[in-house]
Chains A and B, each alone.
Chain A
Amino acid sequence: MTDLIQSLVDGVALGSLYALAALGIGLVFGVMRLINFAYGEVITAAAYTLLLTKDLNVGLRILLAVAVAVALSLVMEFVFRPLRVATPATMLITTFAVSFLLQNVAVLWFGTQGESIGFLSDLNRAFEIGGIRIRWITLVSILVGGAFLAAIAYLLDRTDIGLQMRAAASDFTTARLLGVRATRVIIFAFILSGVLAAVVAMMLAVQRPLATPTFGFFVVIPALVGVVVGGLDRLLSATIGGFVIGFATVMLSDLLPSQSRVFLNSVLFGLVIVVLLVKPNGLFLRGAATAERL
Chain B
Amino acid sequence: MGEAVLQVGELDVWFGPLQAVRKLSFALQPGEVVGLVGPNGAGKSTTLLTIMGMNQPTSGSVRLGDRELVGLSPETIAQLGIALVPEGRRIYAEFTVAENLRLGTFGRRQADGLEADLAWVNSLFPIVDEFRDRPAGQLSGGQQQQLAIARALIARPQILLLDEPSLGLAPTIVDGLFDALAEIRKRGVTILMVEQRAQLTAEFADRSLVMRGGEIVLTLAGDEPLDPAQIASAYFGA
Q: Which A residues lie at the B interface, using CB under 8 A?
A: 160, 163-164, 166-167, 170-171, 173-182
Contact = CB atoms under 8 A, between A and B. Distances in A.
B92 A167 contact: yes
6 closest cross-chain pairs (CB), A and B: A179-B107, A179-B78, A179-B106, A174-B90, A176-B74, A176-B75
A134 to B, nearest CB: 39
Nearest to A157: B99
A174 B95 contact: no
Contact of A163 (B78, B102, B108): B102
Nearest to B154: A178
Contact of A175 (B52, B54, B103): B103
A154 B155 CA distance: 25
B90 A180 contact: no
B214 interface: no
B107 A178 contact: yes
B162 interface: no
B94 interface: yes
B35 interface: no
Contacts of A178: 78, 83, 103-104, 106-107, 151, 155
A interface secondary structure, majority: helix
A234 B103 CA distance: 20
A62 B2 CA distance: 63
Nearest to A179: B107
B73 A182 contact: yes
B84 interface: yes
Contacts of B219: none
Given A163-B102, A167-B103, A171-B90, A177 B74 contact: yes
Given A160-B106, A163-B102, A167-B103, A179 B155 contact: yes
Contact of B73 (A160, A164, A171, A176): A176
Contacts of A163: 95, 99, 102-103
Contacts of A173: 54, 74, 90
A138 B95 CA distance: 36
Contacts of A181: 75
Interface in B65-120: 73-75, 78-79, 83-84, 86, 90, 92, 94-95, 99, 102-104, 106-108
5 contacts: A164-B106, A166-B95, A173-B54, A176-B74, A179-B75
A177 B52 contact: yes
A12 to B, nearest CB: 29
Contacts of B83: 178
Contacts of A182: 73, 75
